[in-house]
Amino acid sequence: MPSSPPHPTQDAGATVGDVGEAALINRIRRRVPPAPDWVATGIGDDAAVVEPARGTLDVVTTDTLVEGIHFERSFFPAADLGHKTLAVNLSDLAAMGATPRVAVLSLVLPAGMAAADLDSLVDGMLALATRHRVALVGGNITRSPGPLVLGMTAIGAVRRRRVLTRGGGRPGDELWVTGTLGAATAGLACLRLEPTGSAVGHTDLAGCVERYRRPDPRVRIGMLLGRNRAASAAVDLSDGLGDGVRQLALASGVGAILDASAVPIDEGARRWFQTHDLDSLDTTLAGGDDYELLVAVPRAHRRRFAAISRLARGVPTTRIGVLTKDPSLVLRTADGERALPGGYQHFQETGDTPQAR
């Protein structure tokens, strides 16, 4: 092969530019475990070929992480980047009640990125993929003239009439949220103030930083919600609780009342917000990146939902409000009622609250 480069040495200092595209693809292929038998064609052809699960619909989502917008490489270990790229997509599938199956990965790489970092990134992704039985079946690699851009499309399966959209909520349905909120916002804000992470180890912020870097998508709860039809609607909280409530209410053609005192703010995050003179509630409502689920539950299905909560393996669920016929979005606090603040809007940086993305 006269036009090919000399065989790359895999020393620690090699960059992805040194290694070259074909060798990078081989490097990734070698790390990927054998595909399940319903993957007819995996990595290495023009496209992947996948057998749909019998009697199910395909659920398709895509999400992209951009250096300088969603993360800085200086405070984001490559393995965590790989984990998060998949996690944010699995969160979207969970919010639809789907079981994840396959993913394809688009890598836009600065030529100077260390090849070892790409290995770590792929390994971090594959560790999460294995945990949730997701097969990485293809992708694309190209050079970047600037930022590292990680794009992923994930495909899941859901049975007919088990799809959980944003639009099925009805007046009177209760609003529930999984896990705790605000931790990712505090974690990112902490990393921005102290990129070296020197303070992280000896405060309770370690948990917040972990939540920002390695969110745990609610795959199991999402699958259970899809199967037992406990919920009328769901949305993932990638852009914050305020945004999630707004999206679900808008799609369902209803309003909502949120009980401020019920919002499960992460304790470490709350302390960090207080120390930095930030309103814990407003910061949590606006902060994205939590990847918890907001779920609307008809009162008649409360017992079904409680059964899911018991099966959710330690992930708490908290009732935080109710959907209303009146289309207003209301936050009920000890001081009275006010309009619900929004979530994170891409393209807008307000500058007065730490933004997770």
Q: For a copy of itself, which is the closer residue by CB, 146 or 195? A: 146
Q: Which residues contact 304 (CB under 8 A, 6 or more apart)?
A: 228, 229, 230
- Asked if residue 254 lies in contact with residue 169, where contact means CB atoms within 8 angstroms, the answer is yes
User: What gap in Å lies between CA 88 and CA 238, rounded to an integer?
Assistant: 8
CB of 121 to a copy of itself, least distance (A): 16
Q: For a copy of itself, which is the closer residue by CB, 48 or 278? A: 48
Q: Which two tokens stand for residue 29?
A: 């292929």
CB of 98 to a copy of itself, least distance (A): 7
Q: Which two tokens stand for residue 39?
A: 């993957």
H helices of 253-301, where? 267-275, 280-286
User: What gap in Å lies between CA 63 and CA 90, rounded to an integer?
Assistant: 10
H helices of 278-330, where? 280-286, 302-311
Q: For a copy of itself, which is the closer residue by CB, 92 or 266? A: 92
Q: Which residues contact 329 (CB under 8 A, 6 or more apart)?
A: 245, 246, 249, 255, 256, 258, 339, 340
Give kind and range of the element (H or E) at residue 251: helix 241-252
SS3 of 139, please? strand
Q: For a copy of itself, which is the closer residue by CB, 19 or 81? A: 19
Q: Which residues contact 157 (CB under 8 A, 6 or more apart)?
A: 52, 53, 56, 57, 58, 59, 98, 99, 101
Q: For a copy of itself, which is the closer residue by CB, 61 or 180? A: 61
CB of 93 to a copy of itself, least distance (A): 6
Q: Which of 31, 163, 7, 179 is nearest to 96 (CA)?
A: 163
CB of 328 to a copy of itself, least distance (A): 11
Q: For a copy of itself, which is the closer residue by CB, 79 or 152? A: 152
CB of 191 to a copy of itself, least distance (A): 17
CB of 115 to a copy of itself, least distance (A): 11
User: What gap in Å lies between CA 111 and CA 74, rounded to an integer?
Assistant: 17
- Asked if residue 220 lies in contact with residue 132, where contact means CB atoms within 8 angstroms, the answer is no
Q: What is the CA radius of gyration of the chain?
A: 21
CB of 76 to a copy of itself, least distance (A): 15
CB of 313 to a copy of itself, least distance (A): 22
Q: For a copy of itself, which is the closer residue by CB, 149 or 322? A: 149
Q: For a copy of itself, which is the closer residue by CB, 50 or 260? A: 50
User: What gap in Å lies between CA 83 and CA 174, rounded to an integer?
Assistant: 32
